[in-house]
Chain A
Amino acid sequence: MRAEELVIDPVALEIFRSAMTAVAEEMGASLARSSYSPNIKERLDFSCALFDHTGRMVAQAAHIPAHLGSMPDSVATAIQQFPDFAPGDTVVLNDPFLGGNHLPDITMVSPIFVDLDGEQRLVGFAANRAHHADVGGMSPGSMPIATEIYQEGIIIPPIKLWERGELNRAAMALILRNVRTPEERRGDLAAQLAANRTGIRRVQELVSRYGLAQFRALCDALIAYAERITRATIAGIPDGVYRFTDYLDDDGVSEQPVPITATVTVQGSEMVVDFTGSAPERPGSINAVETVTKSAVYYVVRCLMPEDAPMNHGAFVPVRVIAPAGTVVNARPPRPVAGGNVETSQRIVDVVFGSLAQALPDVIPAASQGTMNNLTAGGIDPRSGRPFAYYETMGGGMGARPGLDGISGVHVHMSNTMNTPVEAFEYAYPMRITRYQLRDGSGGAGAARGGNGLIREILFLTESDVTLLTERRRLAPWGLHGGEPGSPGENVLQRASGETVRLRGKHRFTAQPGDRLTIHTPGGGGWGAAPASGR
């Protein structure tokens, strides 16, 4: 029987949806609990997803929007590179130009086989991606201000790190020799593999419950279902062409602002988002690969969909993204891309929302902080004599919504990672946090106020190599309909000598013991003109 001949009714569809989502969630629970990197466990900087045998995403556990569009590209690349899969294989990759998004995000793809009458049949793939705290390169934490991708860390093209269940020890040794904290990496990679194994086991159980033909038909039905929801969502947006331009402060090499332009065309139940007119790719590391740009667009569309709509291949079918090669939204090798995933992705969201605000004035919020405020630091911990690599991102102000203030001190849009608790931080690193509070008055005024940013102040106890990769330090998050912009962020270094310097948004420096770095994150924009009395 051919799969499409099986009729899937709304009851079977819902039961299958619940089952597949549970599998992806269980993979996530396994990865979060057994990983080493605070990034993965404390901050949930990872994603898990399941794919059908042709590489179409069927279910994803919602963790990080930045991974929405790019997980499918990882699986597609793995399939392309390896036409022959065997049970026990696992492909690992982080190459942004071959299915990755930036180097710290390491993806693992494992084929799922079932034994049918003695024959191993490929039924799908389990995949997960996790942000590792360090993958080598020119600065600890691997989020440097670079001019070439080779400076950003070890590049792992798609390779079978496990082949028929056997670890490729040479490849593993090569990877671990190129990172600053190899024990931690080994633990995280083991956790990632365990997560895929969980996914494989559960999908095998589902196939044995449903039978292969029915399983495939259900995957098709789930994908068609997500497509229907996306189409219904887009159909609710007035037809038209909407355009918006916004800027990154700079690329960290020159001081030149970097324009990004989106032209959104809505017609019926389909949408085209065209980035023609955006800046050419830059020497600095704010370049985004195409997959990151797609993720940002999918994120915006997802926000307009019902809360628990499924995320899979079908959800992306009615949305076309045009990102001209060689621009900052579709960079080519060997451009550095570390910041494209975390910073440029936020600006892409801003321009797509900015365009849609013209079509949906009562729905779209003002600009949020528009950055993740990336901070990395590394050196030798004098307490243990061992190297440390710290990476963290910081929340800020959410843009005001129609009739609703923005939330203060939260991650916005493409990230939702948790902070590192002060008490966990000081056990783990030779640094202290001396202040952590909301940044009063930083949200833009308006009928609804933008959320306030945060202030996080760090005292260095040992010589540390520090990198800041931050945005919206010069160009403020915009308000809408008469709302005021939010305050731009500030990075201030107070030297142990007493001297105070205001640092650039993207900056690398050596901190001395006693130096104090204060990050003020941006506030969100206001929505609507403030009443005369002021808000």
Chain B
Amino acid sequence: MRIVGVDTGGTFTDFVLFEDGRVRVHKVLSTPTDPARAILQGLADLGIDRTVDVVVHGSTVATNAVLEHKGARTGLITTAGFRDVLEIGRQNRPKLYDLRQQKPPPLVPRELRLEVTERLDERGGVLVPLDQESVRAAIDRLQQAGVESVAVCLLFSFANPEHERIVAEAAERAGFFVSASHVVLPEFREYERTSTVALNAYVGPLMARYLSRLEQSLPRQTTVRIMQSNGGTISAATAGREAARTLLSGPAAGVVGAAYVAEASGFRRVISFDMGGTSTDVSLIDGAPTQTTEGKIGPYPMRLPMLDIHTVGAGGGSIAWFDAGGALRVGPLSTGADPGPAAYGRGGSEPTVSDANVVLGRLVPDAFLGGTMRLDAERARLAVRKIAERLGSSAEAAALGIVQIANANMEAAIRVISVERGYDPRDFTLVAFGGAGPLHACELAERLRIPRVLVPTTPGVLSALGMLATDIVKDYARTVMLRPDGRLEQIEPAFGALEERAMSELSAEGIAPGAIRLERFLDLRYVGQSYELTVPFEGSVASTVAAFHQVHERRYGYADEEEPVEVVNVRLRATGLISKPALERQPEPSPWRPEPSEKRPVTFEQAGEPMTCTAALYQRDRLGPGAVIAGPAIVTQYDTTTVLPPGWAARVDAVGNLIAERDTTGRESDDAR
């Protein structure tokens, strides 16, 4: 069995091949005009282009189409009187105080938003029957306008899909790619539902074409599975129809990868920390990754379930600057990959977080990208000195300040997903990856009192690795809006209908009934509240409501068992279990102390002042299982650098993960100072 995870990113396409219990890693340059080329190239390099059994793929095709406004020409059909809902949104302006702000253009321009005469009430009753003539007129108009894809979203269609179904069928007969809201997202709140369906219609045709091209260029027996934003996969055919489900697949795979490697080391409560050049993604895993239905793609709301990933604009390329009030700021402006930090020597001269790390001795100029690109320490120092002059400090003190501010920004991000949600970071392990994650992880953990940092063996390709660890997952939901004072018996039929659909769709994905796991959830709220909490269904509404009070208490600090609770949505998660590769494991490695390849001066903070000490330098590929090292130390590898501050110690465990913890023996390295 040869299974390969393929993660198409902006610069590189990453491959992780799992074959006969062994993992192989490969990278090729991405080919943005035709991403499939890089994939075929990489498979050929690995020698599996004719023999691979399963390709699990995450791509940015759909995401880029949204962000660059290069999706299909899309029309919208909606209820008469409501075609502007997509443009008005929630009527709020994006920024409170910005006199020059603009709103993002709607995905479907006004002339392509058409209305049909019909209206349902909130229980799905017909107030105005569907006027077939208005349907024909709308479809004629869209055909004349040369539209390729059509989104259909009628008011209250989740309560009664009949009208919407008729419109969608008519549009399909007319030859459009059609996306209907009762299929994609049968949930109330018309703007968010319309936005989600419009996104799906906008990226669907591109995704379908891309995936069918990719499948055609692979051997006939190869199965292609596509990564979704919810951390599971679906077949390529489904991904073409429901492309909106794949919009954040790359970051989601990273979270799944973090959960997977941490679990191999015995940790199930994890905060994933992916710090790259321009941004940082953090996410909380409490046994399983956390889900949300309140995501956005760029500025557009997307309400399909996705992993709850919080992104901040702070990365290695973030620029340090002084604002009008004299505070030192880091980001959100970034040098990006081009020209990049001053240390890249490509013409950048602004001081960045990476430059600060060079000045502190933490980024090793000769070891960057496996030595293929040498960093220019002099340019980095020159850039950071601009900040130091204004601070009246040494370059080291300025660099330390830059790193500390970047860490404060990331600390705030981690607090949002942990403390704000009622979780204590002290109960978690920080899994650091991305080019810059392991550089900052230990100091960040210290600020948040996270006891442990885990750096995986292959931190640069964790998304591709995560793809190998996924199941087939499909999420279903429907708004039912049931008051506790009656009609609760409607819950069962609602679940039943979702389960029927789930079983038939998962069979179509080739999953045997015995390998299907169904999980029920209810979205609940106190009557009168306007947002809901998702709670696992406990067999009865009453016991689920009891659990709801507890969740409410943890998340918001209070609960009232006297208050009536209403059922807003029923949810179902259907999982087709797939056997996953197990990481290679050394039996009980005995501890050993590796020799550092060299020693170098590295600056840390002590009592508010920079303190330069001699740190040991190790190469990650020489640190086999059982290796034990003490801080201060730097561990370099091809695509990242791990910093171990004084007072920290790390060991390599049986699966190769580097586990860093505060050195409780109280003994610092002999090399300190």
**Which A residues lie at the B interface, using CB under 8 A?**
9-11, 13-15, 17-19, 21-22, 26, 29-30, 32-38, 41-42, 44, 62, 65, 181, 183-184, 187, 190-191, 193-194, 197-198, 225-226, 228-229, 232-233, 299, 302-307, 309-310, 363-365, 394-395, 398, 401, 404, 407-412, 416-419, 421-424, 426-427, 432, 434-438, 454, 457
Contact = CB atoms under 8 A, between A and B. Distances in A.
Range of interface residues on B (Cβ < 8 Å): 35 or more
Contacts of A421: 188-192
21 contacts: A14-B328, A15-B408, A36-B526, A36-B528, A65-B96, A183-B527, A183-B528, A187-B526, A194-B558, A303-B98, A307-B97, A309-B325, A410-B91, A418-B91, A419-B88, A421-B189, A421-B190, A423-B155, A423-B190, A427-B188, A454-B91
Which among B328, B391, B404, B528 has the greatest number of chain A C-beta atoms within 10 A?
A: B528
Contact of A436 (B84, B412, B528): B84
A418 B325 CA distance: 32
Given A18-B408, A401-B100, A436 B82 contact: yes
B437 to A, nearest CB: 19
B655 to A, nearest CB: 35
Contact of A424 (B83, B411, B530): B530
Interface in B541-594: 552, 555-558, 560, 563
B405 A14 contact: yes
B618 interface: no
B415 A305 contact: no
A187 B90 CA distance: 24
A302 B419 CA distance: 31
Contact of A225 (B99, B326, B526): B326
B405 A15 contact: yes
A187 B92 contact: no
B311 interface: no
A411 B558 CA distance: 32
Contacts of A412: 93
Contacts of B530: 36-38, 41-42, 424
Contacts of A407: 93, 101-103
Given A11-B404, A187-B529, A418 B92 contact: yes
Contacts of B87: 408-409, 438
Interface string B508-536: 00000000000000000011111100000
A36 B529 contact: yes
A394 B91 contact: yes
B325 A226 contact: yes
Given A33-B555, A183-B528, A435-B82, 19 more contacts: A10-B322, A13-B326, A14-B328, A37-B530, A41-B531, A44-B92, A191-B558, A193-B558, A233-B324, A304-B99, A401-B99, A407-B93, A410-B91, A410-B93, A417-B91, A419-B88, A419-B91, A427-B188, A436-B82
A27 B662 CA distance: 32
Given A416-B92, A454-B88, A423 B122 contact: yes
A183 B563 contact: yes
A310 B191 CA distance: 32
B420 A29 contact: yes
A184 B530 CA distance: 11
Contact of A18 (B99, B122, B412, B416): B412
A398 B93 contact: yes
B529 A232 contact: no
B558 A307 contact: no
B457 interface: no
B121 A426 contact: yes
A408 B122 CA distance: 28
Given A22-B412, A225-B326, A435 B81 contact: yes
B85 interface: yes
Q: Which 4 A-B pairs have the closest CB atoms?
A: A11-B401, A34-B556, A435-B81, A395-B91
A310 B528 CA distance: 34
Contacts of B428: none
B269 to A, nearest CB: 21
Contacts of A401: 99-100
B529 A35 contact: yes
B327 A225 contact: yes
Interface in B84-143: 84-85, 87-88, 90-93, 95-103, 119, 121-122
B329 interface: yes
B188 to A, nearest CB: 4
Contacts of B408: 14-15, 18-19
Contacts of A35: 529
Contact of A416 (B96, B100, B156, B556): B96
A303 B92 contact: no
Contacts of B90: 418-419
A229 B323 contact: yes
A225 B100 CA distance: 25
A407 B93 CA distance: 8
Question: Could you say which of B102, B190, B390 has the most chain A C-beta atoms within 10 Å of its C-beta?
Answer: B190
Contacts of A437: 81-84, 88
A404 B84 contact: no
B327 A14 contact: yes
A508 B97 CA distance: 33
Given A228-B325, A419-B91, A421-B191, A34 B552 contact: yes
B188 A424 contact: yes
B481 interface: yes
B235 interface: no
A291 B48 CA distance: 72
Contact of A395 (B88, B101, B323, B400): B88
Contacts of A29: 416, 420
A422 B155 contact: yes
B483 to A, nearest CB: 8
A436 B92 contact: no
Given A404-B102, A436-B82, A22 B325 contact: no
B97 A65 contact: yes
Contacts of B325: 225-226, 228-229, 232, 309-310
A22 B415 contact: yes
Given A18-B408, A190-B560, A228-B326, A422 B88 contact: no
Contact of B81 (A184, A299, A408, A457): A457
A226 B323 CA distance: 11
Contact of A438 (B84, B192, B326, B552): B84
B81 A434 contact: yes
Contacts of B619: none
Nearest to A426: B122
A232 B326 CA distance: 11
A388 B258 CA distance: 49
B64 interface: no
B556 A33 contact: yes
Contacts of A302: 97
A141 B85 CA distance: 25
Question: Which of A10, A191, A309 has the most B CB atoms < 10 Å from its CB?
Answer: A10
B409 interface: yes
A60 to B, nearest CB: 11
Contacts of B390: 10
Contacts of B119: 434
A315 B86 CA distance: 37
A179 to B, nearest CB: 13
Nearest to A452: B84
Given A34-B552, A419-B88, A426-B122, A11 B328 contact: yes
Contacts of A10: 322, 326-328, 390-391, 401
Interface in B388-410: 390-391, 400-401, 404-405, 408-409
A13 B412 contact: no
A419 B82 CA distance: 14
A65 B555 CA distance: 27
A432 B123 CA distance: 13
Given A228-B325, A421-B189, A365 B99 contact: yes
Contacts of B97: 62, 65, 299, 302-303, 305, 307
Nearest to B159: A423
A363 B82 CA distance: 35
